[in-house]
Amino acid sequence: MSITLTDQDRPELQKAIEEIVESGFTGVTMRVHDERGEWVGSAGQRKLGETAKPTTNGHVRIGSNTKTFTATVVLQLVAEGTVGLDVSVADYLPEFGLDPKITVRMLLQHTSGVFNFTGEYYDDGTFAPGIPATTAGKEWVDNRFKTYRPQELVQLALSKPARFEPGTDWSYSNTNYVLAKLLIEQVTGSSLAEEMQRLILGPLGLSGTVVPDTSPEIPEPHTHAYYRYTDAGRQKTVDVTRQNPSWISTGGDMISTTLDLHMFISALMGGKLLPAPLLAEMCKPHPKVGYGLGVFVQDAGENGGTVITHNGGMAGHGALMYSTPDGSKTLTAALNYVDDAALSLAEAFQKATQRLVKEVFGGGQAGSADAAESAQ
Q: Which residues are catalytic?
A: 64
310 beta partners: 321
Q: What are φ and ψ of residue 89, in 5° steps?
A: -65, -30
265 beta partners: none
Residues 6 or more apart in contact with residue 173 via CB below 8 angstroms: 110, 112, 114, 115, 116, 117, 120, 157, 163
Give the pairing of strands 226-231 and 338-340: parallel
Side chain identity at 158, as an amino acid letter? L
Report the sign of the C-alpha dihedral through residues 342, 25, 247, 189, in that order.
positive
Is 131:244 a contact under the CB 8 Å cutoff?
Answer: no
Q: Alpha carbon 320 to chain centroid distance?
A: 8
Side chain identity at 188, as an amino acid letter? T
Within 10 angstroms of residue 205's Cβ, the number of other Cβ atoms is 10
**Using the 8-state DSSP alphabet, how is residue 371 labeled?**
G
Pure H helices in 197-275: 202-204, 258-269
Residues 6 or more apart in contact with residue 159 via CB below 8 angstroms: none
| DSSP reduced 3-state for 163 | coil
**Using the 8-state DSSP alphabet, how is residue 249 labeled?**
G
